[in-house]
C-alpha cells in the first residue's frame, strides 16, 4: 500500500488507528527544510485532517499538483499553516486571510471541485475559513515542518454527513493513505 513518503530531514511512520506521524528530525530549527508527500495522487472527495502532536509546533500541510519540488511550501496549491494555536491559509506560498484558533486540529476538505479550510476538531462544527472553486483533478499530499522535533499526525478520511450539504457515500476512502 502506498502512503506518505519522507523527504529531507523527516521521519514518517504509521499511527495507531490509521494515518501518519510526520516529524522533523534534522535540518535547521525554524527553517522549513523538512518535507513529506504522498506516493499517489488523491482524486475525488476527501477530508484531510492534521493534528498537532507538540506544543508551539510550526508546520504547513496541504495539497500540491507536483509535490517534492522543494522542502518548503511555495508549491503547495492549498495549505494550512498551524503555528502557536492558530491556523493560517496559504495558497501557492501566499498567506490569504483570515487566521483562526485551531485547538490543535485543522482540516482541508474537497467536495466536487470545492476546497474548504476548517480550523477545529471537526469540520462540521466550524464555519469554513475559506472556500475555493476549480479544485478538481489529481492532487498530492504535501507538508513541511519548521520546528526541529516538531511532529503532526495526518490522515485522509471519506467525507461524511458534514459534506457541505451534498450527499456522499459513507465508508473508507481508497487512496492508499492512512488506515
pLDDT in tens, 9-19: 999 999 998 89
pLDDT of residue 7: 92
pLDDT in tens, 125-179: 766 799 999 998 999 999 999 999 999 999 988 776 444 443 333 333 333 333 3
Structural domains of the chain sorted by starting position, each given as residue range(s) with its CATH number in brackets:
4-157 (2.60.120.920)
pLDDT of residue 121: 83
In 3D space, the residue among 104, 97, 118 whose CA is nearest the CA of residue 150 turns out to be: 104
pLDDT of residue 56: 66
Q: In what order do the strands lie in the sheet with 140-145?
A: 4-6, 34-38, 140-145, 58-64, 76-83, 86-91, 94-101
Is residue 176 within 8 A of residue 40, CB to CB? The reply is: yes
Q: Residue 54: which pLDDT band, with cuts at 50, 70 and 90?
A: confident
φ, ψ for residue 123, nearest 5 deg? -65, -25
In 3D space, the residue among 168, 131, 175 whose CA is nearest the CA of residue 2 turns out to be: 175
d(CA 169, CA 1): 23
pLDDT of residue 19: 93
pLDDT in tens, 61-109: 999 987 765 567 888 999 999 998 889 999 998 999 988 888 888 999 9
- 49-53, 111-115, 160-164, 175-179: least confident range: 175-179
Amino acid at each position: 500500500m502506498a502512503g506518505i513518503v519522507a523527504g529531507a530531514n523527516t521521519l514518517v511512520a504509521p499511527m495507531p488507528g490509521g494515518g501518519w506521524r510526520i516529524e522533523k528530525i534534522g535540518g535547521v530549527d525554524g527553517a522549513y527544510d523538512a518535507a513529506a508527500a504522498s506516493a499517489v495522487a488523491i482524486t475525488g472527495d476527501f477530508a484531510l485532517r492534521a493534528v498537532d502532536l507538540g506544543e508551539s509546533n510550526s508546520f504547513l500541510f496541504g495539497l500540491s499538483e507536483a509535490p517534492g519540488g522543494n522542502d518548503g511550501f511555495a508549491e503547495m496549491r492549498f495549505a494550512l499553516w498551524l503555528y502557536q494555536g492558530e491556523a493560517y491559509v496559504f495558497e501557492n506560498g501566499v498567506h490569504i486571510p483570515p487566521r483562526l484558533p485551531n485547538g490543535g486540529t485543522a482540516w482541508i476538505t474537497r467536495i466536487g471541485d470545492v476546497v474548504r479550510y476548517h480550523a477545529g476538531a471537526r469540520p462540521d462544527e466550524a464555519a469554513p475559513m475559506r472556500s475555493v472553486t476549480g479544485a478538481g483533478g489529481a492532487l498530492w499530499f504535501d507538508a513541511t515542518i519548521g520546528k526541529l522535533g516538531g511532529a503532526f499526525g495526518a490522515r485522509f478520511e471519506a467525507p461524511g454527513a458534514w459534506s457541505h450539504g451534498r450527499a456522499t457515500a459513507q465508508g473508507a476512502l481508497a487512496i492508499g493513505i492512512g488506515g
